Chains A and B, each alone.
Chain A
Amino acid sequence: MPILLLEGLLLLAMISIAIAIIFGKNLLAATIIYCGFSFSAMLLYTIVGAADVAFTEAIIGTISTVYFIIAIKSIKNRGEHDEKK
């Protein structure tokens, strides 16, 4: 029963993180919170017993966060470029 409670808490955390990402205004904060989404998913996979999938999720979550940050930086560069014109 405690495992079920933990799963429910993790699912609730994932849903609330998803809602926070959609309605958040700060892009960098949304990206960092998305890392938390990935972490909750990883914990869920571990509870279910899929250790391989959890491992993959952990690494890909890290890499995708870095990609998102690069994308945010490129958006900022574009904005500055347009202002100079």
Chain B
Amino acid sequence: MKKSNSNKKLAAGLIAIIILVGASALKIGSFLPVIGAQDTPANSYLSEYYISHAVEDTASHNIVTAVLADYRGFDTLFETCVLFLSGITAVMILSTKKKISHDKTIRTINDNSEHIFSSNIMDAAFRIVVPIILIYGIYVLIHGEISLGGGFQAGALLACAYLLDRIIPSFQMRVKHITDEIALITAGTGALFYVITGILPMLNGGNFLEFNKLPFGSGAGDIAGLHSTGILMIEIGVTLCVMGIIITILEVVLERTDFDD
């Protein structure tokens, strides 16, 4: 009886918090500019500036990448941090204390005859597809500033190749088995790499994420080279983070569902 009473109190408190937050959000929302209004910075001069100056400012032929990775690099940094946070949350909620043996990297079709994806057609198809997806992921990462794509898509592609390889049983796993700890460490390394890329220009007298002052290349006049290097570096960071988080969530879920058994 006492427990249900405290539960009721908790529920009432939660409802009060939800109403409070909702009311304040509505109140704050009334101060935001109307979508599509003529006098907002985004509609009056900012997008025009981005479209007309992106190539000469950042030497990136894809305006989306120029805005995401160069003009708005600080936003992308915190998007990466939010992704990393989601991975940590998944591990905290889903990970089990159960001891799992990691010597199951070599699997045979005979062992998994009852497996949901066990078929020779799947095995033969994905034996060809997985390396191509991996190469395409690297291509998307390196060509991010010229063609469409970028860090997030490249990371998702690399993780997709691992995911297909992980869930389809074959004679031998083609990609090395990554545990969730290693995947989470990879994601953290990616986020850290992003921050270090931001700090490097500060050593040279610039601002945070100011690619003109990167200590590489042939000096301060080489805008195209410096910006390309900077965008590539932060995209490598984003790629590592996205790939690590997707693999982390996959491995944590698979550990709970006894997928290998």
Contact = CB atoms under 8 A, between A and B. Distances in A.
Interface in B126-177: 148-150, 152-153, 156-157, 159-160, 163-164, 167
Interface stretch (A2-10, A12-20, A31-39, A59-67): A59-67
Which label, helix, strand, loop or mixed, suits the secondary structure of the A interface?
A: helix
B124 interface: no
B156 A70 contact: no
Given A52-B64, A66-B163, A67-B250, A59 B157 contact: yes
A56 B153 contact: yes
Interface stretch (B71-79, B98-106, B185-193, B251-259): B251-259
B256 A62 contact: no
A48 interface: no
A59 B150 contact: no
B246 interface: yes
B246 A63 contact: yes
A26 interface: no
Interface residues of A, number: 16
Contact of B153 (A59, A67, A71, A77): A59
Nearest to A53: B64
Interface string B222-256: 00000000000000000000000010011001101
A55 B148 contact: yes
A13 to B, nearest CB: 24
A63 B160 contact: yes
A66 B167 contact: yes
A77 B258 contact: yes
A6 to B, nearest CB: 21
B116 interface: yes
A60 B160 CA distance: 9
A15 B192 CA distance: 42
A69 B253 CA distance: 12
A29 interface: no
A73 B250 contact: no
B257 A62 contact: no
A34 B36 CA distance: 32
Given A51-B148, A56-B152, A67-B250, A74 B256 contact: yes
Interface of A: 51-52, 55-56, 59-60, 62-63, 66-67, 69-71, 73-74, 77
Given A66-B164, A70-B259, 7 more contacts: A60-B156, A63-B156, A63-B160, A63-B246, A67-B253, A69-B116, A73-B257
